[in-house]
Amino acid sequence: MDKTVIDSKCPSCDANLKFDPKSQKWICEYCGNKYELKDLEQNTKKYNKKEAKEEKKTQEKVKLNIYRCSNCGAEIVCDENTTATFCVYCKNTAVIKERLVGSFEPSLIIPFQKTNKDAIAAFKKIGRRHPLMPKEFSSEKNISEIRGIYIPFWLFSVVSSGGIEANCTKVRTWRSGDYLYTNTTTYIATREGNITITRVPNDGSVKFDDAIMNSIEPFDYSKLVPFNYSYLSGFLAEKYDVDEKRAQENAKKRMSETIKKELLSTIHGYSTVTIRKDYIDYGNMESEYVLLPVYMLNIKYKDKIYTFAYNGESGKMIGNMPIDKKRAVLFFLLAFIIVFIIVFALLYYVKVR
Partner 1 sequence: MKKILIFISLLLFSMPVYANTNTCKRTKEDLHIPEKVNYQESMYSSIISTPCIDATEKIYDFANLFTEEEEIKIYNLIIDYINDSNLDLAVVTINTNPKSSTMEYVDDFYDYNEFKYDGSIFIIDMKNREFYISTSGKALEYYSDYRIEMTLSSMDKTMMNHKYYDSVEILVNKLKSYYLSGKPENGYLYEGEFNPYQENKTKISMKQAIISSIIVALVSSSIYILVLCLRNKQVKKVYNSKLYLNKKATVITKKNERYLNSNTTKTYSPISHDSGGSSHSSGSSFHSGSSGISHGGGGHHF
Min dist. Cβ of residue 31 to partner 1 (A):
43
What's the CA gap between 65 and 5, in Å, rounded?
A: 12
CB nearer to partner 1: pick between 89 and 340: 340
CB nearer to partner 1: pick between 40 and 110: 110
Chain centre to alpha carbon of residue 106: 16
What's the CA gap between 222 and 37, in Å, rounded?
A: 18
CB nearer to partner 1: pick between 57 and 246: 246
Min dist. Cβ of residue 267 to partner 1 (A):
8
Q: Look up residue 26 and give its amino acid.
A: W
CB nearer to partner 1: pick between 266 and 298: 266
Taking a C-beta distance cutoff of 8 angstroms, is the pair 24, 30 a contact?
no
71-79 long-range contacts, CB within 8 A, separation 24+: 71/7, 71/16, 76/5, 79/207, 79/238
What's the CA gap between 131 and 302, in Å, rounded?
A: 18
CB nearer to partner 1: pick between 163 and 315: 163
CB nearer to partner 1: pick between 79 and 210: 210
Taking a C-beta distance cutoff of 8 angstroms, is the pair 203, 217 a contact?
no
> Exposed, middle or buried by CB within 10 Å (0-12, 13-18, 19+), for 217?
middle
CB nearer to partner 1: pick between 42 and 182: 182
Taking a C-beta distance cutoff of 8 angstroms, is the pair 285, 158 a contact?
yes
Please, which residues bridge with residue 148 across strands?
295
Identify each DSSP E strand in 7-105 by its residue range.
17-20, 25-28, 34-35, 66-68, 75-77, 82-86, 93-96
CB nearer to partner 1: pick between 230 and 248: 248
Min dist. Cβ of residue 308 to partner 1 (A):
9
CB nearer to partner 1: pick between 42 and 222: 222
Min dist. Cβ of residue 293 to partner 1 (A):
18
Residue 162: CA atoms inside 13 Å, Cβ hemisphere, count?
22
DSSP structural state of residue 105: S
What's the CA gap between 220 and 232, in Å, rounded?
A: 19
Of 160, 150, 126, the closest CA to residue 281 belongs to 160
